[in-house]
Amino acid sequence: MYEFDEWLRRTRRLFEEFDKLFDELMKESLEAFGGGKRKVMGPFYYGFSVTIGPDGVPRIREWGNIRPSFGTRPRISEAVEPFVDVIEEEDVIKIVADMPGVEKEDINVEVTETEVKMTAERGERKYFKIVKLPVRVNPETAKASYRNGVLTVTIEKIEKEKKPSGVKVKVE
């Protein structure tokens, strides 16, 4: 029994020394990077999607609040850039954005003829996104709905796509 008690005491002392060493290293690291006065941010999000357009060219879209920068530190923002899809229909443009964790009262949507600005803030959650539109729209017709963490903005196009007019000619 004595041997086990002695082993237990020595093991406990060893782990206490590890804890002290770890605390000292953490303190020195914090002091080296700003004196321990750095603001702790988080969580960090980064994602991307790859789509291939009708022209066959791949398009990469990034989202989140952290952007990789080659050769330097990554850029980190307080607001998360939500994942957004822009859907072009015959008469309207639909913008669908993932903004979980906020209420509809927390969301602000501003529409111009060429872009849509979406912001939201509730507690620690912050979202910010400016979407450049593929065609001109009528801002007066903008409607927005928010359900289950998904914001949908629908705006009528200024110039609706014209259907081809003419007649079909039979080739002889």
- Phi and psi at residue 156, in whole multiples of 5°? -75, 145
Domain that holds residue 130: 46-156
pLDDT tens for each residue of 46-90? 777 777 877 888 877 777 767 666 666 666 677 888 889 999 998
The rounded distance, in Å, linking the Cα atoms of 97 and 81 is 10
CA distances from 160 to 93, 139, 144 (A): 11, 14, 20
- For the cut 70, the answer to whether the pLDDT of residue 41 exceeds it is no
Is 163 a member of any domain?
A: no
Work out how many domains the chain is built from and give that number: 2
Maximum average pLDDT range among 31-35, 119-123, 142-146, 157-161? 142-146
Residues 92 and 23 in one domain: no
pLDDT tens for each residue of 146-155? 999 999 999 9
Cβ neighbours of residue 126 closer than 8 Å, sequence gap 6 or more:
78, 79, 80, 119, 120
Residues 135 and 81 in one domain: yes
Residues 60 and 82 in one domain: yes
Q: Is the pTM of this model over 0.85?
A: no
Q: CATH number of the domain that 56 lies in? A: 2.60.40.790
Q: What percent of the chain has pLDDT over 90?
A: 35
Is 32 a member of any domain?
A: yes
Residues 72 and 140 in one domain: yes
Q: Which of 89, 144, 86, 91 is nearest to 115 (CA)?
A: 86
